[in-house]
Structure 1
């Protein structure tokens, strides 16, 4: 079980770093997390005392709810897929507090970016919050501005929730 916990944390760190740096989460990273979550369930040692039903429900609800935001152009597909994989790990009961924490962090990110854009006291911080330029990146064709690394905030919130859950 300790090996699964370490793997889970490494996966969360990889997602957070990738999303902060690139403002995207690659499919291979999402798939790796989903396969690992399914492996913990198959071996009968889920990290958070959730069974198949809870995990699959968490994945479906997480994916389905964020799919609405993606369809409206408000979120990237990687965020949606990552949330589905995260739901496999934590189930619906874990996904709700993670969503709340991540949404508060993403809101703070957005507020800070907007404030710094309006009052440019720290131009480097403003650029860092905005993320990499989309015009210079291969494979990005939609041209949408992706300021909020939501999957990264979900990953950070999930890591914090895991530590909190294990201590209580």
Structure 2
């Protein structure tokens, strides 16, 4: 495993936790990951060839350009776009399509599950709906869930950055276990 792959996995894990918990992608972590990645890419280029920088720069530019339209039409948060660009920088442009496909499949599964659950709830017997409401009320009273809701500050939606992180981790593991990047 390369140092950039390990860095991408560590950053992805941090972003997954943050996005699932608070629906936030901290800029400090993105900047730190990009900064350490820039040092690693520069060191690699100095020891071998400056053409080694090109896949990483293309990954940064393509990653940003690919998702910025979704931010512009308010389908996605800025943190998701920046995280995808940083992943492109760390892993190179070759990783972007598989990571994007994996994340989009996970996000689609999330959406379908939410819509199916909303549809099914209307057909549940009254006793089952009452039980579900009681369980939901009890969960809402848990301090851990209240803390998480407070951390989200009303932000809702699909945790796309978390799904990008899961897909990036899977891609790195796949590429070191016989897949070709």
Q: What TM-score, normalized to structure 2?
A: 0.74
Deviation at 1:24, TM superposition (A): 1.7
Counterpart in the other structure of 2:30: 30
For 2:166 and 2:41, the matched residues in 1 are separated by 23
Q: Partners of 1:147 and 1:33 in 2: how far apart?
A: 25
Instruction: State the Cα distance separating 1:112 from its structure 2 match.
Output: 0.7
Does 1 or 2 have the higher relative contact order (CA < 8 Å, sep 6+)? Answer: 2
Instruction: Tell whether the 8 Å contact from 1:70 to 1:77 is kept in structure 2 after alignment.
Output: yes
Give me the CA root mean square deviation.
2.6
Q: CA deviation at 1:3?
A: 5.3
CA distance in structure 2 between the aligned counterparts of 1:136 and 1:146, rounded to whole angstroms: 8
The 2-side partners of 1:91 and 1:108 are apart by 27
The yes-or-no answer on 1:156 pairing with 2:166 is yes
Deviates more, 1:36-45 or 1:54-63: 36-45
Cα distance in 2 between the residues matched to 1:7 and 1:25: 16
Which 5+ residue runs of structure 1 have no aligned equivalent?
Answer: none
Asked whether 1:16 is paired with 2:26, we answer: no
> Is residue 114 of structure 2 the alignment partner of residue 113 of structure 1?
yes
- Matches of 1:16 and 1:136, distance apart in 2: 14
How many residues matched? 152
Superposed CA deviations along residues 17-59 of structure 1, whole A, max 9, x for unmatched, are: 00111112011111111112212201208xxxx9211111111
Q: Identify the residue that residue 92 of structure 1 maps to in structure 2.
A: 93
Aligned 1:10-159 pairs, distance under 5 A: 10-44=10-44, 51-120=52-121, 137=153, 146-159=156-169
SS across alignment from 1:24: coil
Q: Quote the offset at 1:136 in angstroms.
A: 7.1
Q: TM (normalized to structure 1)?
A: 0.79
Cα 1:135–1:30 change in 2 (3 A) is closer
8 Å CA contact 1:24, 1:76 repeated in 2: no
Q: Which residues of structure 2 form unaligned runs of 5+?
A: 46-50, 125-131, 141-147
- Counterpart CA distance in 1 for 2:65 and 2:27 is 17
8 Å contact from structure 2 (residues 59, 91) kept in 1: yes
